[in-house]
Structure 1
Amino acid sequence: MSLAVSPQARDALQAWLETARALKGQSDNTEAAYRADVLGFILFMTGYRGDAQGLGALARISTTDMRAFMAHLRGQGASPRSMARKLSAVKSFYRFLADREGFEPTAVLSARAPKFQKKLPRPLTEDAARAMIDSVGDQGREDWIGARDAAVVTLLYGSGLRISEALGLTGADLPLGDSLRIRGKGGKERIVPVLRVARNAVETYLRLCPYEMTPGAPVFRGQRGGPLNPRLVQKVTAAARMQLGLPATATPHAMRHSFATHLLQAGGDLRAIQELLGHASLSTTQAYTSVDQVHLMKVYAAAHPKAG
């Protein structure tokens, strides 16, 4: 289908992706999603307008064309969240074209994304988080597998790691110290604390693990010795939450939410927590934390240089 895209448009798309990567350090997955979103837009316009969408044709996109595109997405069953993401990618592409090619992007930039309710994360209580770790460790058919799963979930909660970050640890990161250097989304590095309980959990797993731990090998192994699949972590967490009677929102990622929320509830500084989580925006960190507004304002009052 990419044959319907002119070489000029294809080159512009690649240049935009490369610029976005250089400026924002976005991940391979994000780049692939952006490429698919914009390519989908160009291909739709090719069929809708009946000709290949070179730069000249893309410059003539109208408000009516944009409405047709949004209707097309809706007709395909795209969710409001998905439609908003696709439109955001197209708008970003057109801002790039406006700067590079002198496009007039108003028709595209004025297109409205559908409204949707953002799903706020639901962290666990401290007791539920501890119970989850214990229960996950009891799910494994073999002792080393139970110890492995408990170590992974302990790192999610104790250090605020994403699943991909925990499973990305290699033998070169061992032995774990008081802190750990993590390369997160977009290649951004951060230093996270490693609590003794997390170090102990990893050490217990390593003592039981039947596979040799070399510097380049993944710390967390699947049953046959390969890298642990994140779906297995999700599966064992689902089994644990059912056993404990916890809601469906008690996912591995909820352990990371809980890390942030419990730190803030204990009086932690919002910006420090932002750094620990590796968020580019403070607003993202706020969405991760589930605390009452009164407590949040107290934290701001205590931390803000102009407060008081």
Structure 2
Amino acid sequence: MTGFEARQLWLDWLARERRASRHTLVAYGGDLTDFLDFLTRHQGEEPSMASFAALRPADLRAFLAERATRDGVGNATRARQLAAIRGFLRFLARHHGLPPLALAGLRGPRVVPPAPRPLTPEQALDVSRAAGDVENTPLLSARDTALFTLLYGCGLRISEGLALNVKDAPKAGQALRILGKGEKERLVPVLPAVAEAVAAYLRLRGGALPDDPLFLGARGDRLDPGVAQKALRTYRRLVGLPESATPHALRHSFATHLLGAGGDLRAIQELLGHASLSTTQRYTSVDSVKLLETWQKAHPRAR
């Protein structure tokens, strides 16, 4: 079995057994292609099961070093690539007789997750209410207003919002069913403002069928995330918002504002669809920074 045949077997297994998302499969598939191309140059022939059995930590270090020095790849990407390679080799060891490799001591690049950069409550409300004004037709304006209100009001990833169909449209008093990363399903409460903004958009649009995409582009296809990102980029530059004001920042703002108002961290984890509480805990550091800034401005002994 060649290395590329083994790669395809692993990706098929990830999709079937682990229910990995399309984005994960694309990323890991690219990571393995990079590694197999490196081994072809490194060893002078196409990789095989014998090549994998002969791997040593030094080979993986050489791959990571080449990615950093020749290709300029950052720590986060190289750490993900190492994780993909480990998973691939474990799969071959468990399912295809590859001898277990002594790679336990190999450490990947250190990755420090960037702190979320939420908007203030006033900025987030401003975006959800007015960012659609940059569009040149009432329909597209209503669409963007509905989308940004949904992202902030429900804490969705932009991919989750754009994956909705008309039959999934949020309704006040009903939970919105979201299929997130790793095909993980969650229920999110719907605020009246969210339901009203989406309903206003659908009234202007007219004739929408239940299985049609909820958010349409100008040509009638499902709205591309790049179009929504461009609209918000145009708006933030018009009104002087920071460059960090992106559709994903609305999700960060949802979590931070809930936490600042006394929301329970576990509940926020469920609303965001985070697999690990440690991911949600990043928002506690953001809120602590804002509390410290407030203390420094307001406390008499801080001057």
Q: TM-score, normalised by structure 2?
A: 0.88
1:22 CA drift (Å): 4.2
Q: Residue 262 of structure 1: SS of its match in structure 2?
A: helix
Contact 1:91-1:109 within 8 A present in 2 as well: no
**1:245 is the counterpart of 2:240:** yes
* Counterpart in the other structure of 1:266: 261
Q: 1:33 to 1:175 in 2, by over 3 A?
A: closer
* Counterpart in the other structure of 1:165: 160
**1:33 is the counterpart of 2:46:** no
* Counterpart in the other structure of 1:104: 100
1:93 paired residue among 78, 82, 88: 88
Q: Residue 134 of structure 2: SS of its match in structure 1?
A: coil
156-165 or 282-291, which deviates more: 282-291
1:23 CA drift (Å): 4.7
Amino acid at match of 2:244: T
1:243 CA drift (Å): 2.3
* Counterpart in the other structure of 1:291: 287
Contact 1:46-1:52 within 8 A present in 2 as well: yes
2:148 paired residue among 146, 149, 153: 153
Q: 1:154 to 1:15 in 2, by over 3 A?
A: same
Q: Residue 292 of structure 1: SS of its match in structure 2?
A: helix
Amino acid at match of 1:72: E
Contact 2:170-2:198 within 8 A present in 1 as well: no
* Counterpart in the other structure of 1:223: 218
Separation in structure 1 between the aligned mates of residue 233 and residue 166 of structure 2, nearest angstrom: 28
Separation in structure 2 between the aligned mates of residue 110 and residue 40 of structure 1, nearest angstrom: 22
Separation in structure 2 between the aligned mates of residue 277 and residue 170 of structure 1, nearest angstrom: 20
Separation in structure 2 between the aligned mates of residue 176 and residue 16 of structure 1, nearest angstrom: 41
1:8 CA drift (Å): 4.3
* Counterpart in the other structure of 1:82: 77
The Cα offsets for residues 158-177 of structure 1, whole Å up to 9 and x where unpaired, read as 00111111111212124624
* Counterpart in the other structure of 1:236: 231
Separation in structure 2 between the aligned mates of residue 171 and residue 88 of structure 1, nearest angstrom: 38
The Cα offsets for residues 225-247 of structure 1, whole Å up to 9 and x where unpaired, read as 22212111111111221123221
Separation in structure 2 between the aligned mates of residue 232 and residue 11 of structure 1, nearest angstrom: 37
**1:257 is the counterpart of 2:252:** yes
250-259 or 174-183, which deviates more: 174-183
**For the aligned residues, what is the CA RMSD?**
2.0
Separation in structure 1 between the aligned mates of residue 91 and residue 49 of structure 2, nearest angstrom: 12
1:141 paired residue among 108, 132, 136: 136
**1:121 is the counterpart of 2:116:** yes
The Cα offsets for residues 227-286 of structure 1, whole Å up to 9 and x where unpaired, read as 212111111111221123221111110000111111111111111111111111111122
Q: 1:50 to 1:25 in 2, by over 3 A?
A: same
Contact 2:131-2:235 within 8 A present in 1 as well: yes
Separation in structure 2 between the aligned mates of residue 10 and residue 175 of structure 1, nearest angstrom: 44
* Counterpart in the other structure of 2:189: 193
270-279 or 17-26, which deviates more: 17-26
Aligned residues: 287
Separation in structure 1 between the aligned mates of residue 22 and residue 240 of structure 2, nearest angstrom: 37
**1:180 is the counterpart of 2:176:** yes
Q: Residue 281 of structure 2: SS of its match in structure 1?
A: helix
Contact 2:170-2:194 within 8 A present in 1 as well: no
1:96 CA drift (Å): 2.1
Q: 1:80 to 1:294 in 2, by over 3 A?
A: closer
Q: Residue 191 of structure 1: SS of its match in structure 2?
A: strand
The Cα offsets for residues 136-157 of structure 1, whole Å up to 9 and x where unpaired, read as 0221211121111011000000
**1:60 is the counterpart of 2:54:** yes
Separation in structure 2 between the aligned mates of residue 39 and residue 230 of structure 1, nearest angstrom: 27
Contact 1:182-1:190 within 8 A present in 2 as well: yes
* Counterpart in the other structure of 1:19: 13
Q: TM-score, normalised by structure 1?
A: 0.86
Separation in structure 2 between the aligned mates of residue 90 and residue 195 of structure 1, nearest angstrom: 43
1:72 CA drift (Å): 1.6
Q: 1:187 to 1:253 in 2, by over 3 A?
A: same
Identical positions, percent: 45
